[in-house]
Structure 1
Amino acid sequence: MALIDQLKEEQKLAMKAKDKPRLGTIRLALSAIKQREVDEHITLGDEDIVAVLTKMVKQRRDSAAQYESAGRQDLADAENYEITVLEEFMPQPLTDDEVAQLVSHAIAESGASGMQDMGQVMAILKPQIQGRADMGKVSGLVKGQLA
């Protein structure tokens, strides 16, 4: 089942269950996807939808951290709930060992010899890791291996 169809089906189920917080989160995701489709005049595939969801999760993590530092645990909990709902539609996360192995293969495949080749390595890694690992951590691993 396509990811967009899965989201729409879960939206219907949330409506029937009268689960307003879940329904609101799914509607936000569908809205963000539709907005990107309208802006770019394209129909998004699963890979692009995962990219949209990844961006939404990152935004919510940042917001939750800011709310917690400001002492607003109620708002941080709401953001964390939205993260759990969004992550249901994303691919399974990679383990640290799997990420390290993919980084090693990408470095070997690109023939990278130093930091100047980091862009080539990341270009190989991004499609494989998108939505399955934190790209900031992956970038740190690549820097560590290239240095």
Structure 2
Amino acid sequence: MKTLTLQLRKEDPTAADSVQLMDELSSALQAITGDSGVASFDAADVVGPAACFVVARDEHGNPLGCGAFRPLQPGVAEIKRMYARHGASGVGSALLRFLEAEAAALGYQAVWLETRLVNRRAVDFYTARGYARIDNYGKYIGNPLAVCFEKQL
């Protein structure tokens, strides 16, 4: 079995590959949850010295997934737009490790994120990687469809 060689790099969230990956994510979320998540994301939030947008590529430079974080509150970054193309085994984990390391290097003590309870694959993914459920924050307070998680860095 061939081992996938991944290249993870900070990239422009408005570049064509980035937009394509996020469009695929939006379609998948719409199908799973009935909400594309687009209203909860602004590309400008993940650009700048306290934020990060990353694309995972294979050895040929083909995009396989993306993820981002933005500053949420002092010491806390929020993970956004996590996506790995179907069949791209290990890409999601690699993206998440990259984002966690970047956030820690920038001085964040924790990362938070939101997903939907109905998105069992995402809930199980984050739980398996050490994320603990927290009270819903921000715009997710009072939303029974949302579930929020935290990981201390």
Please give the TM-score of this superposition, normalised by the length of structure 1: 0.27
Larger strand percent: 2
Please give the TM-score of this superposition, normalised by the length of structure 2: 0.26
